[in-house]
């Protein structure tokens, strides 16, 4: 996802959806734009806003939920996740799985790229190997590590020839896995695993930087126009194999940084939907939408978290990190600020994930006594006598919601721990760069499940080099547990390995979990089939307008 997904995360990088981020332009209507709510638009035009310029619309280079929301509509993988959250055949019309569950044979249907070229097995092989090639610095390459030889190649320890991706012919792709991976067909629906037209990408290295005919895709929509820092226009793809199932003709997307402006646009009938994974319902609008019963709230497999730079002057100390994590008043934050019926996060895996529904007992919320003890111990270890000399910067991306959360946590840390805190606000891409380069002390982030399994939340920290880590933290015991979990086929034993790993995270605190998201959105009554899945995804292929 939040986000960076890094950021679903996450950013992450979304609901209230705070995995989403920020940068854009105001809510002024372009000349000639008609109000959808007044019935003047084309019957099948959908109007949306996103909070920022998508950092990348190359499937293998994107890492955030804003880019992902667009990519899922203009590209399509071997499989897709439908509006009910179920995996369905997509470019692959048939999938054969070997008895040992380690070899998948994908039989591709007749489908075409938006420029008329046939989509082939070679396009998938090209895209996946591009993501895994360390020269391309794809931060989401690790999602493909279940493929044989993929991790070794990505880490510079193996050859591309040894990666288990084989093209039998134009319509047949054979993928060999390191170990049985029950959620592999969910991975093949994720945007990192979507194909890229090899001919187009090799002839033009910047093919994904602009919209129009040069942006060749294979999904239900094309990126017909991209006005940077202003708007995107998606148009129904006449070359799409299942175009008869697509109702929408156009999706008009403006970039609006301000949640308040986006909310006014919704109330003024300029947009038809407000919520994840596009833009956030503002905190101060939640009570009003609850009162008129138009607010939708659903469980969401996502976490809002504060990452710690474990190489930082103060946050290199585990007890300082522990003090920060334990002294967050999560329930107070939920009740007084975010107000979306979220759940305090007392672990790293959301309770929406099977096997992790219950409190695992790692910490208690707002444990000030233990937090103060940890702070005193950390100060002693660092040779600090006055708590005011512990200086913590909270880095956030531009967002009213992130700012309100940061202010609440800042006030708690200042009042209860006596430390010095400041809030550092940056535009989305600058913020992502700071997180990736460890140019921060504490940074807000979010993570949305890429697939419905605890591993998607825990594998981010299997190595300091993992593109979704952003903390500098690494622990050999934790790394070994993750490796064992990947190979373990006994479900109960695998769950224990993952929980043992989660316990290490909740002992060393490279991350302070804050709350588990709910998904909040409002929509016009004529918008149908647009409810997000439990992973926060919306398939615009399924959406229709009924006026």
pLDDT confidence bin for 367, thresholds 50/70/90: very high
Q: Are residues 415 and 494 in the same domain?
A: yes
User: Quick check: 15 pLDDT over 70?
Assistant: no
pLDDT mean over 459-480? 95
Q: Are residues 513 and 529 in the same domain?
A: no
Total domains in the fold of the chain: 2
Q: Are residues 395 and 541 in the same domain?
A: no
The predicted structure's pLDDT at residue 248? 98
Q: Is residue 17 a part of any domain in this protein?
A: no
Q: Is residue 345 a part of any domain in this protein?
A: yes
Hey, what are 288's tokens?
Answer: 């009003």
What pTM does this model have? 0.80
The predicted structure's pLDDT at residue 433? 94
3-class SS of residue 489: coil
pLDDT tens track for 193-231: 999 999 999 999 999 999 999 999 999 999 999 999 999
The predicted structure's pLDDT at residue 42? 57
Q: Is residue 157 a part of any domain in this protein?
A: yes
pLDDT tens track for 44-58: 999 999 999 999 999
Q: Is residue 210 a part of any domain in this protein?
A: yes
pLDDT confidence bin for 43, thresholds 50/70/90: confident
pLDDT confidence bin for 32, thresholds 50/70/90: very low
pLDDT tens track for 498-521: 999 999 999 999 999 999 999 999
Q: Is residue 316 a part of any domain in this protein?
A: yes
Q: Are residues 424 and 396 in the same domain?
A: yes
pLDDT mean over 360-365? 95
Expressed as residue numbers, the domain containing 342 is 299-520
Bridge partner list, 182: none
**DSSP single-letter state for residue 336:** I
Helices marked H in 383-450: 400-417, 428-436
Q: Return mean pLDDT, the chain.
A: 91
Q: Are residues 95 and 225 in the same domain?
A: yes
3-class SS of residue 384: coil
pLDDT > 70 fraction of the chain, expressed in percent and rounded? 92
Q: Are residues 228 and 370 in the same domain?
A: no
Element (H, E) at 81: strand 79-81
Q: Are residues 320 and 208 in the same domain?
A: no
Q: Are residues 390 and 516 in the same domain?
A: yes
pLDDT mean over 426-445? 95
Q: Are residues 528 and 469 in the same domain?
A: no
The predicted structure's pLDDT at residue 299? 84
Looking up residue 529, the CATH number of its domain turns out to be: 3.90.76.10
Q: Are residues 505 and 538 in the same domain?
A: no
The predicted structure's pLDDT at residue 228? 97
- The whole-angstrom separation of Cα 5 and Cα 465 is 16
Q: Are residues 355 and 390 in the same domain?
A: yes
The predicted structure's pLDDT at residue 141? 95
71: region left, alpha or beta (phi > 0 left; psi from -120 to 50 alpha): alpha
What Rg value do the Cα atoms of the chain yield, rounded? 23
């Amino acid at each position: 996802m939040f986000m960076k997904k890094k950021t679903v995360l996450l950013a992450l990088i979304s609901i209230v959806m705070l995995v989403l981020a920020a940068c854009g332009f105001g809510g002024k209507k372009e000349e000639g734009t008609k109000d959808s709510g007044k019935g003047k638009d084309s019957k099948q035009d959908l109007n949306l806003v996103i909070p920022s310029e998508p950092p990348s619309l190359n499937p293998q280079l994107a890492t955030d939920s804003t880019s992902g929301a667009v990519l899922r509509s203009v590209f399509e993988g071997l499989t897709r996740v439908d509006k009910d959250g179920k995996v369905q055949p997509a470019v692959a019309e048939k999938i054969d799985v070997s008895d040992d569950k380690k070899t998948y044979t994908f039989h591709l249907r007749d489908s075409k790229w938006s420029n008329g070229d046939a989509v082939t097995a070679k396009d998938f092989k090209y895209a996946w190997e591009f993501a895994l090639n360390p020269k391309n610095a794809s931060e989401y390459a690790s999602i493909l590590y279940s493929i044989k030889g993929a991790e070794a190649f990505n880490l510079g320890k193996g050859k591309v020839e040894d990666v288990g991706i084989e093209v039998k012919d134009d319509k047949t792709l054979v993928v060999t896995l390191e170990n049985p991976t029950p959620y592999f067909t969910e991975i093949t629906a994720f945007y990192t695993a979507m194909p890229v037209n090899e001919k187009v990408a090799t002839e033009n290295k910047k093919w994904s930087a602009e919209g129009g005919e040069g942006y060749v895709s294979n999904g239900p929509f094309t990126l017909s126009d991209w006005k940077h820092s202003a708007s995107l226009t998606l148009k129904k793809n006449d070359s799409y194999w299942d175009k008869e199932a697509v109702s929408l003709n156009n999706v008009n997307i403006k970039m609006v940084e301000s949640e308040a402006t986006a909310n006014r646009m919704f109330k003024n009938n300029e947009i038809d939907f407000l919520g994840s994974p596009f833009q956030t319902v503002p905190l101060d609008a939640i009570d009003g939408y609850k009162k008129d019963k138009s607010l939708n709230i659903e469980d969401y497999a996502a976490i809002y978290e504060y990452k710690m730079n474990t190489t930082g002057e103060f946050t290199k100390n585990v007890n300082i990190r522990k003090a920060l994590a334990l002294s967050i008043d999560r329930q107070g934050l939920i009740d007084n600020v975010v107000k979306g019926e979220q759940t305090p996060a007392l672990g790293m895996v959301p309770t929406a994930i099977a096997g992790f529904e219950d409190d695992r007992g790692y910490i208690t919320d707002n444990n000030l006594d233990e937090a103060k003890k940890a702070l005193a111990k950390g100060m002693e270890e660092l040779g600090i006598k006055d708590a005011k000399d512990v200086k913590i910067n909270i880095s956030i991306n531009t967002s009213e919601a992130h700012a309100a959360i940061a202010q609440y946590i800042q006030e708690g840390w200042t009042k209860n721990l006596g430390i010095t805190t400041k809030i550092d606000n940056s535009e989305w891409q600058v913020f992502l760069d700071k997180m990736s380069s460890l140019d921060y002390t504490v940074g807000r982030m979010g993570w949305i499940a890429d697939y419905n399994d605890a591993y998607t939340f825990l594998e981010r920290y299997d190595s300091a080099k993992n593109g979704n880590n952003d903390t500098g933290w690494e622990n050999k015991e934790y790394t070994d547990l993750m490796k064992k979990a990947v190979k373990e086929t006994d479900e109960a034993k695998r769950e224990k390995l993952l929980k043992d790993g989660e316990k290490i995270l909740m002992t060393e605190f490279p991350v302070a979990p804050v709350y588990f998201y709910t998904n909040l959105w409002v929509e016009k009554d004529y918008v149908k089939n647009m409810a997000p899945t439990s992973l926060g995804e919306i398939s615009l292929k399924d959406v229709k307008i009924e006026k």
